[in-house]
A = this chain, B = another copy of it.
Amino acid sequence: MGKKDKNQVKEITPMDVDFPQWYTDVISKTELCDYSPVKGFMVIRPYGYGIWELIQKHFDKRFKETGHENMYFPLLIPESLLTKEAEHVEGFAPEVAWVTHGGEKELAERLCVRPTSETIICSMYSKWLNSYRQLPFLYNQWCSVVRWEKTTRPFLRTSEFLWQEGHTIHETAEEAQEETMKMLGVYKEVAENMLALPVMVGQKSEKEKFAGADATYTMEALMHDGQALQSGTSHNLGQHFTKAFDITFLDRNNEQAYPFHASWGVSTRLIGGIIMVHGDDSGLVLPPEIAPIQLVVIPVAQHKEGVLDKAWEIGKALGKAFRIKVDDQDGYSPGWKFNQWEMKGVPIRLEIGPRDIENNQCVLARRDTGEKVSVSLDGLEETVKALLAEIQQNLFDKAQKMREEKTSVAADMDQFKTVLKENPGFVKAMWCGDRACEDKVREETGASIRCIPFEEEQETLFEGKCVCCGKPAEKMAYFARAY
């Protein structure tokens, strides 16, 4: 039975030794996901999927609060639909999977497995929309999409991933822009408050924008290794698709008009971000808001009378307010269990042994700081609630501090290369707006423009000279190497 054990990692490689290996070890040892028999496709295991369910819950709640409803569109899209919008097909055609046979027959027209659903959704919107009275259309879809990738890494870049795609239609350009920005705001709020991921928001360059968009906005998080992760995008699609798909409506002046369109998406990639921002050499560190298990109860000397009963009594009581687990497995020492749950990133470990019971107390150990405190069993729910909130905030603060420490400025290309080498991370630099400079920076440093911050976060650095060509530049951009 040689097939067994082949994927069992004994130790987690330290981050500083080999960051990519650390990442692979963590997701494998904590059973977040696994490689499948289909190259580039991953299996999301229960612990990973549990995180995704919580991420979904936080986003979906806000989508609904902002008036959006969910729908479901077909997985397969006829080639003729995919090719209707020129920029879009150019962007996506090279990376789609094609269904050519169905039910043992060759199909008259190839169908692609959706890489994103603008085309199929717009073909239906065209059928449904008649009058401005129906607008806005505020719809979203949770689904999986397929994009044929050459190099893949679990959660970060896989040939299939889970995501949501919002597709909204509006009477005016202003409303579409408002929606685009509103949803970027929702993304940032959830990323920061629920996932504890500080994000830079701003606009993508022409080069980096979505295939078929007027403008793409993004949120970018910075990983432990100094690389950026695009963590969510919101697109103002203007009338690209509404014209290509003949979506028209009778406007307030009783005239036929093309409406305006926005789309926005986040994906399972966020799980990769959570791992690489919060994790450490012991494994995962999960923010309480998205931790499938927020607190694990570990009985100490569990063979002694009353210990297991007390552990379960506490577990059941806390289970009403939190996601908890009681680890009462026989045959494993408390120390072994401590390590397991530490590796799994559970925010709080609760230890309870005979002496604790005598003193009406228990020990709470924080995953984020390693601190241990003895607390009274009276008012335990309140104590845990406060501690979880503190951990959630601390993870955000730590990540923000890390990002600040890993953010440099550069006046010219030499300085750019130096700071990026000495302190990998974001480089703030002026950019003249020319594609040639953008390409040159990328070529010489591997860093791309992650985003151009909005007005309120713009700065004029080094007298406004482009970091590459030295000509006058109006905008400061965030550059980084990226996943």
| A160 and B75 contact, CB distance less than 8 A | yes
Question: Is the Cβ of B94 less than 8 Å from the Cβ of A113?
Answer: no
Please tell me if the beta carbons of A5 and B120 are within 8 angstroms of each other in the complex: no
Q: Is A251 an interface position by the 8 A CB rule?
A: no
Q: Do residues B76 and A38 form an inter-chain contact, with CB atoms below 8 A?
A: yes
Query: A81 to chain B: which residues have CB within 8 Å?
Result: 37
B contact residues around A146 at 8 Å (CB)? 75-76
Interface contact B34-A46, CB-CB below 8 Å: no
A127 adjacent to B42 (CB under 8 Å)? no
In the complex, are the beta carbons of B49 and A160 less than 8 A apart?
A: no
CB pair B94 A71 closer than 8 Å: no
Which residues between 41 and 64 of chain A lie within 8 Å of chain B, taking CB atoms?
A: 41-46, 49-50, 52-53
Main secondary structure of the interface of A (DSSP, over half): mixed
Q: How far is B50's CA from A97's CA once the two chains are assembled, in angstroms?
A: 30
Closest to A104 in B: B94
A97-130 contacts to B, CB under 8 A, are 97-104, 111, 113, 120, 123-124, 126-128, 130
* A70 at the binding interface (Cβ < 8 Å): yes
A74: Cβ under 8 A from any B Cβ: yes
Residues of B within 8 A of A77 (CB): 38
Considering the complex, give the chain B residue whose CB is closest to the CB of A126.
B3
- Interchain CB contact (< 8 A) of A101 among B4, B75, B98, B150: B98
- Are A75 and B256 in contact (CB-based, < 8 A)? no
Task: Confirm or deny: A148 has a beta carbon within 8 angstroms of a beta carbon on chain B.
Answer: yes
A41 partner residues in chain B, CB cutoff 8 A: 74-76
Cross-chain contact A49 with B36 (CB below 8 angstroms): no
Given contacts A1-B256, A103-B95, contact A78 B45 (CB under 8 A): no
- Bound-complex Cα distance A104 to B162 (A): 23
Determine how close the nearest CB of chain B comes to the CB of A21; give it in whole angstroms.
Answer: 20
Question: Which residue of chain B is the closest to A147 with respect to CB atoms?
Answer: B103
When the two chains form their complex, are residues A101 and B100 in contact, meaning their CB atoms are under 8 A apart? yes
**Interface status of A462 (Cβ within 8 A of chain B):** no
Task: Let me know if A73 is at the binding interface, CB within 8 A.
Answer: yes
A45 CB to nearest chain B CB (Å): 6
Of B34, B50, B72, B149, the residue contacting A124 (CB under 8 A) is B34
On whether A100 and B103 interact (CB within 8 A), knowing A120-B37, A127-B7, A160-B74, the answer reads: no
Within the complex, what minimum Cβ distance (angstroms) separates A400 from chain B?
31
**A380 on the B face (CB < 8 A):** no
Specify which of B46, B113, B123 is in contact with A69 (CB 8 Å cutoff).
Answer: B46
Question: Across the interface, which residues of B come within 8 angstroms of A76, CB to CB?
Answer: 38, 41, 97, 113, 146, 160
Query: In the complex, what residue of chain B is closest to A256 when comparing beta carbons?
Result: B1
B160 touches A37 (CB 8 A): no
CB-CB nearest in chain B for A52: B72
Candidates B1, B37, B70, B93; contact of A46 at CB < 8 Å = B70
* Complex interface: chain B residues within 8 A of A7 (CB): 127
The chain B residue sitting closest to A8, CB to CB, is B130
A99 touches B97 (CB 8 A): yes
Contact assessment for B98 and A94 in the assembled complex, using a CB-CB cutoff below 8 Å: no
Residue interface mask A142-166, B partner, CB < 8 A = 1: 0110101110000000011010000
B113 adjacent to A37 (CB under 8 Å)? no
**Residue contact B150 to A103, C-beta cutoff 8 Å:** yes
State the CA gap A77–B41 with chains docked (Å).
10
- Determine whether A246 belongs to the interface, using a CB cutoff of 8 Å to chain B: yes
Q: Look across to chain B and name the residue whose beta carbon is closest to the beta carbon of A74.
A: B41
- The chain B residue sitting closest to A68, CB to CB, is B46
Determine which of B49, B98, B123, B128 lies in contact with A72 in the assembled complex, contact meaning CB atoms within 8 Å.
B49
Contact of A42 among B6, B49, B74, B98 (CB under 8 A): B74
Q: Which residue of B lies closest to A139 (CB)?
A: B46
A248 within 8 A of B: yes
Q: Which listed residue (B5, B49, B52, B97) contacts A130, Cβ 8 A?
A: B5
For residue A413, CB closer than 8 A to chain B, the reply is no
Tell me if A402 counts as interface (CB < 8 A to partner B): no
Residues on B with beta carbons closer than 8 Å to the beta carbon of A314: none
Q: Is A190 an interface residue (CB 8 A)?
A: no
Nearest-Cβ distance from residue A41 to partner chain B, whole angstroms: 4
List 3 tightest A-B contacts by C-beta distance, closest first. Answer: A103-B148, A46-B69, A41-B74
Given contacts A36-B124, A38-B77, A75-B75, 18 further A-B contacts (CB under 8 A): A1-B256, A5-B130, A36-B73, A36-B123, A37-B120, A37-B123, A38-B76, A38-B111, A41-B74, A46-B69, A49-B69, A49-B72, A72-B162, A76-B160, A96-B103, A97-B99, A99-B113, A103-B149
